[in-house]
Structure 1
Amino acid sequence: MSRFTDAEAQFLDGQRLGRLATLGPEGGPQCRPVGFRLNREFGTVDIGGYDLARTRKYRNIQADPRVSFVVDDLESIDPWRPRGVEIRGTAEALESESFGGRVGPLIRVRPIRILAWGLGSPDHPSPG
């Protein structure tokens, strides 16, 4: 069951790169670009990648599951129209899940709060 609106899901389906912020060992934020897909079955964002289980972001999530994930772009530069989705929530570092035709480690982000802007409706106004 998805918590994403149709506009949010459509936007995320059209994107392939986002930025995942995790909390490092000293408590400071660490932000990394990642490939992802919207998992409509679970209402999550699933993040895969090469040798994922060896990455700092994967280990960070094992220690502290709090994350923020952002996907944004510019629909137009004239007029200026940024749009995007921020997901604040928790993540799981899973050892063996399917992602992009492969089975292996995966990060699954579960939304607690979803913020969106510029997606073409009054519910998603562009930032002022």
Structure 2
Amino acid sequence: MTEFSEAERAYLKSQRLGRLATVDPQGQPQANPVGFFPQDDGTILVGGYAMGRTKKWRNLRKNPKVALVVDDIASVRPWRVRGIDIRGEAELLTGPHDLGPHFSEEVIRIHPRRIHSWGLEDDKG
């Protein structure tokens, strides 16, 4: 499994929303905004209100390839964007977890295989 740098880990912990891309059975991409939770083991959990009934869950049952993009605008003047693109394999989990009471028992665990980040080297904490 690919590992996050310290800057990438810090950035992920500072953000709340990302876009998760999956592929449907016809090979078409689908992207959705999702909440995500970086884990100490280097994986990322994605939870939702009724995750097991979503199209992304159904897509991942057929094809576990996934991408998660987290980015933001750090500054407008000067223009400075930063972010991280995580590609990997999704593991579908069902059962108790610690994400909170508003999440369904279905959770997606992303195992990163490729990580590309930009604009994080300028962060000063």
TM-score (norm 1): 0.88
CA contact (8 A) 2:83 2:118 kept: yes
Judging by fraction of residues, say which structure has more strand: 1
Indicate whether 1:24 and 2:27 are aligned: no
Following TM superposition, by how much is the alpha carbon of 1:100 offset from its aligned partner in structure 2, in angstroms?
1.9
Residue in structure 1 matched with residue 78 of structure 2 by the alignment: 79
Which of 1 and 2 has higher RCO (CA within 8 Å, sep 6+)?
2
Residues 1:101 and 2:100 are matched in the alignment: yes
- Say whether the 8 Å CA contact 2:2–2:114 is kept in structure 1: no
TM-superposed CA distance for 1:97, in Å, is: 4.2
Paired residue secondary structure (1:89): strand
Task: Name 1:113's counterpart in structure 2.
Answer: 114
- In structure 2, the gaps of 5 or more residues are none
**Pairing of 1:55-94 with structure 2 (within 5 A):** 55-94=54-93
Unaligned runs of 5+ in 1: 122-128
Contact 1:38 1:45 in 2 (8 A): yes
| Deviations 1:68-127, CA, capped at 9 Å, x for gaps | 110000100100100000001110111114142347110011100000000025xxxxxx
| Counterpart AA for 2:94 | E
Question: Could you tell me the percent identity over the aligned residues?
Answer: 48
Q: CA deviation at 1:2?
A: 7.5
